[in-house]
Structure 1
């Protein structure tokens, strides 16, 4: 059963479980993949307090075939990561970092991540550029996050569907670096007196090249909206973008974009040589350049 895509040590890794055995495969651009999906789609279990590995769902619960949720309600209620996101864990003794992440014009996010996770969270979110702004204990960093968000400088979250719209146009690296450097200065002005260590000299990291987006996303691609039992997903991998996979189709067909959360929970079998089939798709097209001639008259 697929358990999704994550980033470790700067590498994107697809994982699956068979019983308690975990299988991992690095996402390598240029490699041909093909998967036959078998259902029903099931809950992937939960990360429990004090456990280093995910605990399988004790109910083997079936989850919606076309949803982004990858856990049943029971596993969601005990998952440590979700409890942290919902402010149900006030402190866990770890050091956290406050980050500012840029996903495109108008999409500046403030968030926190455990220091021990390094940069994995920024890669998994698909941040085009980012910087760390502060560090400290969870309660202090959470207050700092709320302060920055309340100021209107950055938001705590964006829907993942809005991010790909900014992959076509994202300015140059100097633009992204200047924007984030300025945002960090403004954030530090808001955080004077907070119980966090301000990171004034942390570099701005750019992921546009890592994600293969230097020239933008394909002019036209088809986004996978839903998967189903018996569907086939196949193609040649492009560099992963956060938790998204772009797969080129044979004979120069329109590439497919998959949010790998939709893959999570399905049983996968090899489907070498078979074309993609049984997928619910929607077409995405690069917006036309604005007509500047009208502005001259």
Structure 2
């Protein structure tokens, strides 16, 4: 991102299995690969603007270049939210679009199983975006069948429909070994497939995938040894804030950054979306609202 007037961040995207920070100067889109150890030096400038909507024809810029709230992870104005295909699917405003969908089961930590769906044409991008640590596909079929299967598993409390980021962060300190992760996910898959076999979605074909392999992405995210013992979570950025340091491997849509001094920072990249990023070297990070986080002390057994 070398333009003198900066590039406006449009988010972190996983393209061809690799993470990229995407941005635009108003006419051209730029994709910057995010690699382990990549140095960054950004000054964040406003106003923060809506990033547009994804439609059946592709990405559509916001027609109003609407300003959005500087705080938080909402990156679209109401008009673009209503037009966004992904949000329409999530809100059940699209009942069937003719595409084939896959039903997945994902593990985000001990006791954290999530069921979800993704268009078959998207491959595994959805699992990468969500920072799924271990996952497998359960079934595929038209949207109505897959959505009903998703709801059935959630209502049976075999898995959750949503796991907030706040629940994912602590799990990065408590990752079980690969064999135990595999076992927990496999046991969940067995229960899920048994329920779907007994109660298939009425009126729509659903093909179960009992032999689909389990994929583990912990090493891909650089979490083999867990999250840093201590770090500071970025809760908000402000106009004029600076981010300087070296990136670690992205975890879904999140980045650990090692600043020039002090503990690592954890950044939800949605906080950058809509802001303009200028390349500007600095010897510190500032203009950030930070929340200190540390690995909880291990509990000791009571002897008496």
Determine if the TM-score, normalized by the shorter chain, exceeds 0.5: yes
Counterpart in the other structure of 1:109:
114
Counterpart in the other structure of 1:242:
252
Counterpart in the other structure of 1:127:
132
Counterpart in the other structure of 2:27:
20
Inter-partner Cα distance in structure 2 for 1:250 and 1:67: 25
Give yes or no for contact 1:232–1:274 (8 Å, CA) kept in 2: no
Give yes or no for contact 1:34–1:274 (8 Å, CA) kept in 2: no
Counterpart in the other structure of 1:256:
265
CA distances 1:199-248 after superposition (whole Å, capped 9, x unpaired): 11111111111111111100000000001110001111111111000001
Inter-partner Cα distance in structure 1 for 2:188 and 2:167: 21
Inter-partner Cα distance in structure 2 for 1:44 and 1:5: 12
Number of matched pairs: 292
Q: By how many angstroms is 1:272 displaced? A: 2.5
Alignment map for 1:41-190 (pairs within 5 Å) = 41-49=48-56, 51-52=57-58, 54-190=59-195
Out of 175, 189, 200, the residue aligned to residue 210 of structure 2 is 200
- Displaced runs of 4+ in structure 1, greater than 4 A? none
Long gaps (5+) in structure 1:
none
Out of 265, 284, 288, the residue aligned to residue 275 of structure 1 is 284
SS at match of 1:191: helix
SS at match of 1:141: helix
Q: TM-score, length-normalised on structure 1?
A: 0.96
Give yes or no for contact 1:14–1:27 (8 Å, CA) kept in 2: yes
Give yes or no for contact 2:260–2:283 (8 Å, CA) kept in 1: no
Long gaps (5+) in structure 2:
1-7
SS at match of 1:152: coil
Q: TM-score, length-normalised on structure 2?
A: 0.94
Further displaced range: 192-201 or 75-84: 192-201
Inter-partner Cα distance in structure 1 for 2:69 and 2:45: 14
Q: By how many angstroms is 1:106 displaced? A: 2.0
SS at match of 1:103: strand
Give yes or no for contact 1:235–1:249 (8 Å, CA) kept in 2: yes
SS at match of 1:89: coil
Q: By how many angstroms is 1:249 displaced? A: 1.6
SS at match of 2:160: coil
Q: CA RMSD in A?
A: 1.0
Out of 34, 51, 62, the residue aligned to residue 41 of structure 2 is 34
Counterpart in the other structure of 1:289:
298
Counterpart in the other structure of 1:214:
224
Inter-partner Cα distance in structure 2 for 1:183 and 1:285: 30
SS at match of 1:164: helix
